[in-house]
Amino acid sequence: MKSSMDKEVQPASVLRGSPSLPADKSISHRSVIFASLHQGHSTITNFSTAADPHSTICCMRSLGVNIQEKDHSIKVEGVGRDGLKSPDEDLDCGNSGTTMRLLSGIIAGAGTTAQLIGDKSLSSRTMQRIIDPLTDMGAQIDARDGDFAPLHIQRNGKLQPLHFPLPIPSAQLKSCVLLAGLFGDDPTTVIETLPSRDHTERLLQLDIQEQKDKKIIHSSRADNIPAQSYRIPNDFSAASFWLVAGAVHPEAKISMKAVGMNPTRNAALEILKNMNAEITVSDRRKEGAEPVADITVSSSQLQPVDITKEMVPNCIDEIPILAVAMLFADGTSKITGAEELRHKETDRLAALSDILKKAGASFMEFEDGIEIHGNPDFTPQQGSFSSEHDHRIAMSAAVLSLMGEQPSQISNAACTDISYPNFWDDLQLLTNW
Ligand SMILES: O=C(O)C1=C[C@@H](OP(=O)(O)O)[C@@H](O)[C@H](O)C1
Ligand SMILES: C=C(OP(=O)(O)O)C(=O)O
């Protein structure tokens, strides 16, 4: 039965045009948090209008920061790191793990008292990874069942610096600890062996020692927090849906401008190129501290590829859509070391398997990944695909549906608002020929 929350996706005969990508979600979160901690004004242009960064704006307002939004820009009157107040109300992080984990670091560091809450999905995601180091730094954190939101955070004693080898390659965990460290008199040190996205380090200009097999990143009160006045790049993770759609569709040419090209973030581009995807990258330039470029993709004959544990942190959010690309490759592809996908908005490996099964694909799911037997002539069976209320699953299912012979349904399709509010309009624009 079709509900009003479902979206019907028609098979596409052609895919052509330039989608209006959203601004980068990870950078949007960080820009408003760091602008709030800066003492003085920041103007951030091309700020994401998606739901997750908006949750961060609302939380920063509750912490006493004046933020004005106009079109795609925000103006932030930064209060400095000692100007945050304890909020009167709960900080509602909505669906956003980044908001909850980064703000936990700020609250523990600043010594304000706050309770962070989230929606059903966020309240079922583990917070142990941040509770442990923040507790070691002197925070007192009460969590439901010791692990889940709501998180009540306060600190009575002095902030303790931490020497923290990252137990998992997570940018949210790295950023949480470094942000708490910004409030300490003595430096906090985070040691990273598998690089994850480095937006926090870039935007805060943190001190980093690069060694052969690791990065040692420091933060302390001595770090100046710069104003955050720049244009945010367009979101590479959003672009990846069209990179795959353009590569697998036989009549496609899609161009995208000013897409984020941070190398700790866009491994999917190299993976697709290694699959033989017809992708051209032009006009490489910088927006603030971040590299951007224009990208064009066109119909390709894809080869299989393996994604291993070392590659996963740099394409973590793109794995569902890369799995769709693998369906159309000429042979078997394998993803391993991706157990973290089970801790996202939903268990993304399980949600993906459900979609692949309904589409009639040949694959095998493992605890930490998936093996996909691709075929250039693969035609997905028409399906009623479940998004599991997860934006990246919904968009992956939509791209797959473009390749079918009959219309498919995607359930709870409005969840794309979490990262890409214009997704369905862009899909219409690209297919309307
Ligand atoms: O720091 C960030 O902005 C993010 C880090 C990643 O999460 P993890 O750090 O949990 O891997 C990613 O999945 C998420 O979409 C955004
Ligand atoms: C996992 C994601 O985000 P978050 O962890 O911030 O909810 C995502 O955007 O895919």
Both 208 and 67 in one domain: the answer is yes
pLDDT at 236: 98
Residues 298 and 214 in one domain: no
Measured distance CA(277)–CA(242) in Å, rounded: 12
What is the per-residue pLDDT across 195-250, written as a single tens digit (0 to 9) for each?
999 999 999 999 999 999 999 999 999 999 999 999 999 999 999 999 999 999 99
> What is the number of structural domains in the chain?
2
Whether the predicted pLDDT of 4 surpasses 60:
no
Tokens of 178: 């470094």
Say how far apart CA 167 and CA 133 lie, in whole Å: 11
CA of residue 185 to ligand 2 center, whole Å = 32
| pLDDT at residue 165 in the model | 98
pLDDT bin (cut points 50, 70, 90) of residue 383 is confident
Indicate whether 178 and 100 sit together in one domain: yes
Angle between helices 25-37 and 51-62 (to 10 degrees): 10
Residue 276 lies in a domain: yes
Do 204 and 271 fall into the same domain?
no
User: Where do runs of H (alpha helix) occur along 48-145?
Assistant: 51-62, 97-110, 128-136
**Residue 24 falls in the annotated catalytic set:** no
pLDDT reported for residue 406: 95
- CATH number of the domain that 101 lies in? 3.65.10.10
Average pLDDT of the residues in 317-322: 98
Q: Are 115 and 248 in the same domain?
A: no
- Three-state SS at 365: strand
Model pLDDT, residue 345:
96
pLDDT, averaged across the chain = 97
Q: How confident is the model at residue 5 (pLDDT cuts 50, 70, 90)?
A: confident
Determine contact, residues 356/401, Cβ cutoff 8 Å. Answer: no
The answer to the question of residue 1 being in a domain is no
Query: Positive or negative, the Cα torsion across 305, 310, 311, 313?
Result: positive
What is the best residue among 95, 106, 170, 345 to mutate for testing ligand 1's pocket, by most ligand atoms within 8 Å of CB? 170
Q: Which residue segment(s) compose the domain that 310 sits in?
A: 7-23+233-431
- Structural domain contains residue 227: no
pLDDT of residue 160: 97
Please indicate, yes or no, if residue 184 is contained in any of the structural domains.
Answer: yes
Question: Are 51 and 41 within one domain?
Answer: yes
- Whether residue 303 contacts residue 287, with contact meaning beta carbons closer than 8 Å, is answered with no
Residues 149 and 260 in one domain: no
Q: What is the per-residue pLDDT across 328-338, written as a single tens digit (0 to 9) for each? A: 999 999 999 99
Asked, for residue 228, whether it belongs to a domain, the answer is no
**Does some domain include residue 427?**
yes
Whether 291 and 181 share a structural domain: no
Q: Which ligand is nearest to the CA of 265?
A: 1
Query: Which pLDDT band, with edges at 50, 70 and 90, does 1 fall under?
Result: very low
Residue 224, domain member (yes or no): no
The residue contributing the CA closest to ligand 2 atom 1 is 344
Cα 30 to the center of its chain, rounded Å: 12
Instruction: Ligand 1: list residues with CB < 6 Å.
Output: 26, 98, 170-172, 175, 196-197, 316-317, 340
Q: Strand 207-210 relative to strand 252-260: parallel, antiparallel, unpaired?
A: unpaired
Ligand (nearest to CA of 351): 2
**Ligand 1 atom closest to residue 171's alpha carbon, by position in its atom list:** 9
d(CA 295, CA 331): 26
Q: What is the pLDDT of residue 433?
A: 79
Which residue, among 17, 3, 68, has the nearest Cα to 42 in the 3D structure? 68
* Domain final residue, candidates 170, 194, 219: 219
What percentage of the chain has pLDDT greater than the value 90? Answer: 97
Residue 173 above 70 pLDDT? yes
Q: Please report the atom of ligand 2 found closest to the CA of residue 418.
A: 9
Please tell me whether residues 137 and 262 are part of one structural domain.
no
Residue 167 pLDDT greater than 80, yes or no: yes
356-365 pLDDT, tens per residue?
999 999 999 9
Please give the share of the chain, as a percent, with pLDDT higher than 70: 99
Angle between helices 319-327 and 236-248 (to 10 degrees): 0
pLDDT above 60 for 323: yes
d(CA 248, CA 235): 21
Per-residue pLDDT reduced to its tens digit, 116-145: 999 999 999 999 999 999 999 999 999 999
The distance in angstroms from the start CA to the end CA of the chain is 29
Q: Same domain, yes or no, for 17 and 36?
A: no
Same domain, 163 and 268: no
Q: How far is CA 343 from CA 13, 145, 192, 196, in A?
A: 36, 17, 20, 16
ipTM: 0.99
Residue 226 lies in a domain: no
Q: What is the mean pLDDT of residues 33-39?
A: 98
> Can you tell me the mean pLDDT for 270-277?
98
Q: pTM for the complete prediction?
A: 0.98
Residues 266 and 390 in one domain: yes
Domain end call among 219, 242, 257? 219
Residue 262 has pLDDT above 90, yes or no: yes
Task: Give the pLDDT of residue 382.
Answer: 84
Strands 369-373 and 332-335: antiparallel
Is there a contact between 133 and 164 (Cβ–Cβ < 8 Å)? Answer: yes
C-alpha radius of gyration, the chain, whole number: 21
Buried b (16+ CB within 10 A) or exposed e, 332-356: bbbbbbbebbebbbbbbbebbbbbb
Per-residue pLDDT tens over the stretch 19-35? 999 999 999 999 999 99
The residue among 219, 252, 287 that closes a domain is: 219
